[in-house]
Amino acid sequence: MTDKLEASFPEDEREAVYRAIHARRDIRHFVPYEVDETVLQRLLEAAHAAPSVGFMQPWDFIIVRDPATRRQIRDHVSAEKEKAGAHYEGKEAALYQQLKLEGIMECFVLIAVTCDAARGGKKNLGRATMPQTAQFSVCAAIQNLWLAARAEGLGVGWVSILQPGWLKELLHVPEPIELIALLCVGAAEHFPKEPLLQTVGWRSRESLKELTHQERWRKPMTSLSQLISRIEPLNQQLMDQAQLRLDSLTKPVGSLGRLEELAKWLVGVTQQSRPRLPRKVVFTFAADHGVTQEGVSAYPAAVTPEMVRNFLRGGAAINVLARQAGAEVIVADFGVAADFGDLPGLISCKIGHGTANMAKGPAMTEADALKAILAGAELALAEKKRGAAFFATGDMGIGNTTAASALVAVLTGARVEDVTGRGTGIDDDTFRRKVKVIRQALAVNKVDAGDPLATLAKVGGFEIAGLVGVILAGAATRTPVLVDGFISGAAALVACRLAQPKPVRDYLAIAHLSVEKGHQRIARELALVPLLDFRMRLGEGTGAALAMPLLDAACAIYGEMATFQEAGVPGKSEISEDVIPADR
């Protein structure tokens, strides 16, 4: 084996190639600048040098300079952008309207790139089984042009919000020639360090590790161990850089308190230099609990399915607060003791019709607990792929505070009475019965704190297991997770124990401190300080929704405040002591 590839470029030339690749951006803002025709020709030659299937070279380039034609195109794109905006809601819609998606009039020239799939004849080499490789070849030419432009210091913006048929007619492109791209080319106002949509928080870059498969396609997740294996530490280097920026903002160091802590945490979790949370998702999972047979709740189990219907109608507290926060509520049935049929808006992950009575034996099998965890994780991973930047946890299930108290007692070693509260508002007699039932469940099931999965199966709930999956998926995909109250906290505790020594806890923030005594113990156990203390105990994800604006505020402060240098304001170290009044 040779030590060096003889055909490789010198090191400085290799670095220049990779620099162009990583510095390429989709440019929307251009400044007046007349590009030399020889430079423009070099860009076209770079595009024309692209590889193509069967060497068919299916591309053509239409150079558009005429201001009147460009105005027509701009007006068409503006109208199409307005139509496309109807697909978005809330803060996502507002962000979409603010985005500048083209530089048609500002750029030096437009280049329409087309594909003639018939070029080379019917027997073109390499297209018999994959005829679409003609279009792929044109994309390779576009990429060549884009990278060459970046090397020349020019920007390129791909305009895609348009009707191809309309533009073909305007530019007299005959059938069956296909329009592939409309490119804006010119001098960029600036080249951002990160893609625009990542900078504004629309989407973050996917993990290359998740997109790389060895030998065979790897399913998104086939086991708990695979999910846990993806969890990595926070990016400390980015967090250190975030702290330097926070300390340089136009304010006394640390004067914004926990907002600064949140901003730094979000940078470390998301690995974004300017984190944004445009699409927030609350997972509200519902299930029933067999332990209600023991009379541990003030409400009957029949309340659970009715509350699920209320969630879907948008009439519950979580719906109201989520709307205020600009968040979407995902409602899933993990084990409600009722059949909903094909109920619009409800996701069915039903493991069973409620758990078994844990006072008489295991609430579920370990296989069912694992199934619920993975179902919750799959839902979270699917929402992540849809652009969710942030997860929040919520729950609904009569009897679930009994299950949560049992879990916390086992996993923390606390006395049952010290982590058991009044749940739905039970009286003294019911409270004493509840404590007794939990003690009985722990004894009957011979629980072992060293086996968190078995503990979850013996005294947990289907919806709690589902939330464990959401939390693990959040940590595995570098997604911030806002943990709601007592039930969600119990799920967080289970998730952290299941994944040890992986740092699941570092991806979590506790939204509020529940009045449930067990929740206080969870916060201490995880060494996390809740963001709010509003004496809430509803669940559903309400506390998480209420705390969401704090995270939005942390993002805004971090991303929008000026530094002392930017504002031209002298920092503390720049102010001479002799100009500071003595009485200060």
Closest alpha carbon to 247 in 12, 551, 571, 530: 571
| Residue corresponding to tokens 């903002």 | 249
- Asked if the bond preceding 501 is cis, omega within 30° of 0, the reply is yes
Distances (CA, A) of 345 to 187, 308, 331, 349: 47, 10, 7, 13
Amino acid at 571: G
Enumerate the H helices of 152-272 as residue ranges.
Answer: 164-170, 196-199, 208-211, 224-229, 236-248, 258-270
Catalytic residue among 106, 169, 540, 574: 540
Cα distances from 320 to residues 323, 328, 524, 546, in angstroms, run 5, 11, 30, 10
Is 540 part of the annotated catalytic residue set?
yes
Contact 319, 328 (CB under 8 A): no
CA angle 204, 208, 210 (to 5 degrees): 95
Q: How far apart are CA 160 and CA 354, in angstroms?
A: 49
Angstrom distance (rounded) from CA 410 to CA 449: 6
User: Would you say 575 and 523 are in contact if contact means Cβ atoms under 8 Å apart?
Assistant: no
Three-state SS string over 109-145 comes to EEEEEEECCCCCCCCCCCCCCCCCHHHHHHHHHHHHH
Per-residue burial over 125-140, b = 16 or more CB atoms within 10 Å of its CB, e = otherwise: ebbeeeeebbeebbeb
Number of Cβ within a 10 Å radius of residue 79: 13
What is the rounded distance in angstroms from the CA atom of residue 120 to the CA atom of residue 132? Answer: 14
CA distance readout (Å), 370 to 149, 452, 465, 494, 576: 51, 11, 8, 12, 63
> Which residues are designated catalytic?
540
